[in-house]
Amino acid sequence: MAEITVAVAGQPNSGKSTMFNLLTGARQYIANYPGVTVEKKTGYLKIGDDKGKLVDLPGTYSLSSYSIEETVARDYLLSGQADLVLNIIDASNLERSLNLTLQLLEIGLPVIVVLNMMDVVDKRKIKIDLKKLSQKLNTPVVKAVAKQAKGKTEIKAMIKEVYYNIKKYSRPEAEIIQYSPELEADLEELTAYFKADKRFTNYSARWLAVRIMAGDKHAEKLIREVS
């Protein structure tokens, strides 16, 4: 029997906490992340013969290091503790919600995208092609309505599918966003550098290159610490 560790990530007001409660029920434990006052909620669920450990990350709009919540979420995702990420998004605000999704994908962990609030989508007569979205993102997409307890079975099945086919769903060199040719040339050079250096094998070389090019102070600090 395996214990599958799943990081639950999402923007504020995406229904992330409602989904977390739906999946774990009363099997929850609350503490703080080390060194900060940000609440850490952990819950458990059965996935067939396996045990799922869900870690509810702070709600953030991005994975920049501008707030304590963003830093905590990103540090956890980079720590190697999670086997995969469950990304809960507000399907009725898809464009805004996918900003965080793209950043999660660039880190390189397997990601399951959960389109929550599909009842609002249907009410507004918004058309979302799940198959095409999954193909574009190159990651599984599941629809749900957490407040109506819809999607739990499908999510559990997808967690198991991804975990037992982890190599298929991992993308350590994911190129989710294509930048300008000039920028891509610089990114390729920087990515090759990180790939060749064994000190950075625990990180996505592409993600590090993107963050350094963006002037990310957290990424710069990480590189100094590793070096």
Question: DSSP 3-state assignment of 32?
Answer: strand
Nearest to 22 by CA among 211, 138, 150, 115: 150
Let me know whether 17 and 80 are in one domain: yes
Let me know whether 112 and 136 are in one domain: yes
Q: Residue 148: which CATH number? A: 3.40.50.300
Domain span at residue 38 reads 3-169
Let me know whether 203 and 139 are in one domain: no
Let me know whether 146 and 216 are in one domain: no
The pLDDT tens digits of the residues spanning 7-33 come to 999 999 999 999 999 999 877 888 887
Of the residues 169, 191, 215, the one at which a domain ends: 169
Indicate if the alpha-carbon torsion angle 9, 22, 12, 38 is positive or negative: negative
The pLDDT tens digits of the residues spanning 73-132 come to 988 998 889 999 999 999 999 999 999 999 999 888 999 999 999 999 999 999 999 999
Q: What is the rounded CA–CA span in Å between residue 143 and residue 91?
A: 9
Let me know whether 151 and 212 are in one domain: no
Of the residues 169, 194, 210, the one at which a domain ends: 169
Let me know whether 187 and 126 are in one domain: no
Binned at pLDDT 50, 70 and 90, residue 161 comes out as very high
Residue 172 has pLDDT above 70, yes or no: no
Q: What is the rounded CA–CA span in Å between residue 223 and residue 26?
A: 40
Nearest to 172 by CA among 77, 108, 105: 108
Q: What is the rounded CA–CA span in Å between residue 155 and residue 86?
A: 9
Let me know whether 89 and 201 are in one domain: no
Residue 12 maps to a domain: yes
Let me know whether 75 and 134 are in one domain: yes
Cβ contact 7:55 at 8 Å: yes
Let me know whether 111 and 27 are in one domain: yes
Residue 214 has pLDDT above 80, yes or no: yes
